[in-house]
Amino acid sequence: MIEENKDITSLTTFGIPARARYYAEYTSEKELLRISRDSVFIENPVLSIGGGSNLLFVNGFNGLVLRSAIKGIVRYDKDADTVFAIVGAGERWTDFVDWCLDNGLGGVENMAGIPGDVGAAPVQNVGAYGVEAKDVVHAVECFDTFTRQTRRFTAEECRFGYRDSFFKHQGKGRYIVLRVSFRLRPDLTARNLEYGPLRELRDRLGHEPTIREVAEEVKRIRDSKLPDPAETGSAGSFFKNPVLHNGYIKEIKALTGYDIPGHAVGENHTKVSAAWLIDHAGMKGARAGGARVYERQPLVIANSGNATAADVVDLAEKVRKAVRDKFMIDLSPEVNYIDTDVTVTLLGTGTSKGIPEIGCSCRVCTSPFEKDKRLRTSALVRTMGLTILIDPSPDFRAQALRAGLHHIDAVLVTHAHYDHVGGIDDLRPFCAGHDLTMFANERTCRNLRKHYDYCFSEHPYPGVPTFDLREVGRNPFYINGVKVEPIEVLHGEMPILGYRIGNFAYITDAKSVPEREVDKLEGVRVMVVNALRDRDHFSHFTLAESLALIREVNPDTAYLTHFNHEIGRHYELARRLPAGVHPGYDGLTFVVK
């Protein structure tokens, strides 16, 4: 049932070569249950895909790719105004739309021609021409990979947002869509004609358009703008339309003179046109290797025939930079980057006083060597297209500028001591369009709400950083599909958190690690751990204690962090360390496979 070294290029719409270490399809819950009990499922990253229309495999997937082949459409007539359709996740979306048209059921005609499978519709909250999946989804039936049981989510529980849902955040990686129930209307007359190009259809036809006429018009418009995946590889719209605070849009106009087109979303926000931004940034038709910005629709990055994943990533970054430089807006990809590599940058490696310490003239604090200058401890993790910050230290502004940081998807906080959270206010640029998601344990959440109350008030002062603060315990959680495992360590007697992401683990400010938490580090390939100094300290590892933990965990490579000046100069410390253990330094970047 599980295949090895599977070529999955044909399962994506980009047409870029891609392989999976393991691959399996299933046609029922029973088959999925059997797969979930296999060691391959238990011991590897798992990626559930549909039609592959929103995926970019940056590297081969070093895990298990699952694809639903659950088929079937069941019709249930509730009353004269409502019909439910229960659809298998493996049905093609276009086939489902055609079924609705053939059965005279309205509601999805505006979404005709969208590539992909039905199972992806609630996950992505797919939408087009004024209608989104949230407008017709009644419930979603899922397989819970934690409990191995089936769970039903109501539309409200799906927490739909613009191209967003619960399944892209807390639920991603845990829940696999089995079936989707849609609420449709038995009516041949189209109801949603407010989207620009469809407003003219009624006048052109001379009568109220039918659902089939709207579907045909939508497909005609799509064909005129979007490449045919059978001929030109793409993922459809590559970027999301940014949702920005109205105050920020006024600021952009004042500085650039541009009126950016968009429409109101809620009371104080506007969804602006990413296509317009890309076009007016001069990027329509831009190329990188075999990838190009599609001439007829700049939201699309197309494969000219020989594009690599690196070409697409490179071009996407060039587009984002051009838009940032001209309009001060950072575009977010709608496409999911699939990359199990974990790239880590140590933004800061110093203790609470940093190095040099103020007023100190010791040989370390006066060292001329760049690696002896240490800002306070912080790290950046990039994987699966996400950028995750660990601890906004008081030096975060300088660290972000040095790293050229333009985007953060989430923040992991180890604990609430000032040398680890003092840079919270400098996260303002990453909160312009939405609350930045932040994860911490209960004690840290309580302290953050107390000491940074202006960030968490019901009616925050305009311009302050705002956060979606989520409390975590000792159990794993997901950030848009990236599994994060908290490692509870003791900072003296205070429980704080380290974090494991894939084969990488990060621990700082620990004095001891309970045995149950050490078990979570099994199989870690690269580890970062604090080593304050040689002399004993009541709440931090000494160098000897740090090395003892490293020997117990036995990673391939370990880096030390959170030093004070007593540790000595960088090159001196490096000489003292065993093979495979290195002193970290500010700006150090490494990749964990």
Active-site residue identified among 21, 53, 68, 163:
163
d(CA 100, CA 220): 18
Active-site residue identified among 334, 367, 393, 546:
334
Handedness of CA 593, 521, 420, 558 (dihedral sign): negative
Say which residue the tokens 């968009």 belong to: 262
**Cis peptide, bond prior to residue 429, ω within 30 of zero:** no
First and final C-alpha spacing in the chain: 26
DSSP output for 162-181: TTB-GGGTTTTTTEEEEEEE
- Any residues with CB less than 8 A from the CB of 353 and at least 6 apart, and which? 564
Tokens of 370: 């760049």
* b (16+ CB within 10 A) / e for 442-464: eebbebbeeebeebbeeebeeee
Is 546 among the catalytic positions?
A: no
Beta strand extents in 70-134 (DSSP E only): 73-77, 83-88, 127-128, 131-132
Q: Coil, strand, or helix at residue 411?
A: strand
Is 535 among the catalytic positions?
A: no
Long-range interactions of 530-533: CB distance < 8 A, separation 24+:
530/377, 530/560, 530/561, 530/562, 531/560, 531/561, 531/562, 531/563, 531/567, 532/351, 532/562, 532/563, 532/564, 532/566, 532/567, 533/563, 533/564, 533/566, 533/567
Handedness of CA 293, 296, 298, 302 (dihedral sign): negative
List, in sequence order, the alpha helices (H) in 85-187: 93-102, 120-124
d(CA 543, CA 530): 8
How far is CA 132 from each of CA 98, 173, 515, rounded to the nearest angstrom?
Answer: 17, 23, 48
Active-site residue identified among 165, 234, 237, 378:
237
d(CA 526, CA 508): 14
d(CA 101, CA 238): 28
Is 332 among the catalytic positions?
A: no
Nearest to 6 by CA among 54, 47, 38, 53: 47
Contact 413, 439 (CB under 8 A): yes
d(CA 61, CA 63): 6
Question: Which residues are known catalytic residues?
Answer: 163, 237, 334
